[in-house]
Amino acid sequence: MDLNLTLFHIINDMAGKNSVLDTTMIFAAQYLICIFAIYLAYTWFAKNKYRQEALFAGYAALLGLGINLIITQFYFHPRPFMVPTGTLLIAHAAESSFPSDHATIMISVSLMLLTFKDFRRSGAVFFILAFTGGLARVYSGLHFPMDMAGSLLVALVSIGILLALKNYLIPINRIFIAYFENIEEKLTKGNLKTS
């Protein structure tokens, strides 16, 4: 038995034995990713001076997904329930397992945040959440552990590309942010006039 399958069964064999743990892991597998989106939206709208960081975190997630899409065009790996093996707790389409899109998004955002001094603590917390979300998806029978390792690798590549392009992206971001703030200002003035 290979290491990937062995690790999968160590984690997934706990599924279906404790309803509280199952419910917790199902929630983590499906909805932890929403916390990342909410946090980036909060950073964008409530912490105006950190809009550059929010954009870069968003870019990291999108670039990671793009790399995943390219990988799936050339490499297919079945999900555990397609083999079939393990206990499946969440219904899912029969599609390629490697890498995990959920994990790629979460790890990419957390690693990108870690590159910014003012977001080191947040990045560390979100990396733990990303690890938890990835573990939950293995527990739920949706992925193999190596899918998560693949997501980590994709996230690192994504961050590396963005850091290499950072000096080119910052001026573009400033234009986009200024454009958004101009619209925001007009909307605010419009609301003040009508109230």
- What pLDDT shows up at residue 48? 81
Task: Kindly report, residue by residue over 56-104, the tens digit of the pLDDT.
Answer: 999 999 999 999 999 999 999 999 999 999 999 999 999 999 999 999 9
DSSP the chain: --HHHHHHHHHHTTTTS-HHHHHHHHHHHHHHHHHHHHHHHHHHHH-GGGHHHHHHHHHHHHHHHHHHHHHHHH-----GGGTT-S---S---S---SS-HHHHHHHHHHHHHHTSGGGHHHHHHHHHHHHHHHHHHHHTTS--HHHHHHHHHHHHHHHHHHHHHHHHHHHHHHHHHHHHHHHHHHHHHHHHHH-
Residue with structure tokens 């206990």? 87
Evaluate if residue 46 carries a pLDDT over 90. Answer: no
Amino acid at 171: P
Task: Kindly report, residue by residue over 114-168, the tens digit of the pLDDT.
Answer: 999 999 999 999 999 999 999 999 999 999 999 999 999 999 999 999 999 999 9
State the average pLDDT over residues 172-183: 92
Distance CA 192, CA 57 (A): 33
Distance CA 124, CA 115 (A): 11
- Does the predicted model carry a pTM greater than 0.95? no
Evaluate if residue 190 carries a pLDDT over 70. Answer: no
- What pLDDT shows up at residue 109? 98
Torsion sign (Cα): 104, 57, 177, 172: negative
Q: How far apart are the first and last CA of the chain?
A: 69
- What pLDDT shows up at residue 184? 82
